[in-house]
Amino acid sequence: MKAGRKISGGKYTRNRKKKKFEIAGQKRTVKLGKNKRKHLRTLGGKLKTVLLMANTINVGKKKVDIKNVLETPSNRFLARQNVITKGTIVDTELGKVRVTNRPSQEGVINGVLVK
């Protein structure tokens, strides 16, 4: 049978449209570059700080510059585009560091040293 049809041939109809808070926003990717942030209004009028570009990472209590994105376990093509996500391994002055948070949602990049 054709997609979106019942076995009898009738159409499936939506009971309502999506509300504004149910609609997905634009995909946010954090790239390597000069620091760039954006503030978004959330439900209840609060503000969420979104990171768009960054060149520093918090390792312990130190703020260290990122030299390069080495690998991304979730998707190897993201490392080629210098996209930083959770689990990404980046090269810094201290050595290799793994990103431990979700920078596109938190506004900062945190990480731990990899041996």
Residue 11 in any domain: the answer is no
Structural domain range at position 63: 27-113
Predicted confidence pLDDT, tens digits, the chain (115 residues): 578 889 898 999 889 999 988 999 888 899 999 999 999 988 899 999 999 999 999 999 999 999 999 999 999 999 999 999 999 999 999 999 999 999 999 999 999 999 8
Considering its fold, how many domains does the chain have in total? 1
Residue 16 in any domain: the answer is no
CATH of the domain at 48: 3.10.290.70
Average model confidence (pLDDT) across the chain: 92
The pair of three-digit structure tokens given for residue 19, joined into one six-digit string: 């509300």
Residue 3 in any domain: the answer is no
Strands 36-41 and 30-32: unpaired
Closest CA to 110 of 77, 87, 78, 76: 87
The pLDDT of residue 115 is: 81
Q: List the beta bridge partners of residue 62.
A: 59
Query: Is residue 97 a contact partner of residue 113, using CB atoms and an 8 Å limit?
Result: yes
pTM, two decimals, is 0.79
Residue 22 in any domain: the answer is no
